[in-house]
Structure 1
Amino acid sequence: MAQRLFVFGTLKRGFPLHEQGLSGATFLGRYRTRKRYPLLIAGPWFAPMMLNEPGTGCQIVGELYEVDDKTIGDLDRLESVGELGNFRLSIEVEPAEGGSPRLALAYMKARELAHPIHLDHLQVYEDRRFIPFDQRD
Structure 2
Amino acid sequence: MAENVFVFGTLKRGFPLHDEGLSGARFIGPYRTKKRYPMLIAGPRIAPMMFNEPGSGLHVSGELYALDERALAKLDSIESVGKPGNFRILVEVEPLAGGPGTLAHAYMKSRSLADPIHSGLLDRYEDRRFTL
Q: Give TM-score scaled by structure 1 length.
A: 0.94
CA distance in 1, matches of 2:110, 2:54: 12
Q: Give 1:101 shift.
A: 1.1
1:17-56 deviation digits (Å, cap 9, x = unpaired)? 0000000000000000000001100011101001111111
How far apart are 1:117 and its partner, in Å?
0.5
State whether residues 38 and 120 of structure 1, in contact with CA within 8 Å, keep that contact through their aligned partners in structure 2: no
Q: Who is 2:61 aligned against?
A: 61
CA offset digits 1:76-98 (Å, max 9, x no partner): 11111011111100010000121
Q: Aligned residue for 1:99?
A: 99
SS at match of 1:116: coil
Q: Deviations over 1:53-74 (max 9, x none)?
A: 1111100000000011011111
Partners of 2:103 and 2:23 in 1: CA distance: 22
Structure 1 runs (4+) greater than 2 angstroms displaced:
none
SS in 2 for 1:115: coil
Q: Give the counterpart letter for 2:104 in structure 1.
A: A
2:88 paired residue number: 88
- Matches of 2:37 and 2:98 in 1, distance apart? 18
In structure 2, how many angstroms separate the alpha carbons of the residues matched to 1:104 and 1:58? 18
Give the match for residue 29 of structure 2. Answer: 29
Q: CA deviation at 1:120?
A: 2.4
Give the CA deviation at 1:13. Answer: 0.2
After TM superposition, the score normalised by the length of structure 2 is 0.98
Residue type of the alignment partner of 2:54:
P
Aligned pair count? 132
Counterpart for residue 9 of structure 1: 9
**SS where residue 74 of structure 1 aligns?**
helix
**% of aligned pairs identical?**
63
Unaligned runs of 5+ in 1: 133-137
Unmatched tracts of structure 2, length 5 or more: none
Letter paired with 2:112: E
Please give the secondary structure, in 2, of the residue aligned with 1:123: coil
Structure 2 Cα separation of the partners of residues 111 and 86 of structure 1: 10
Letter in 1 for 2:43: G
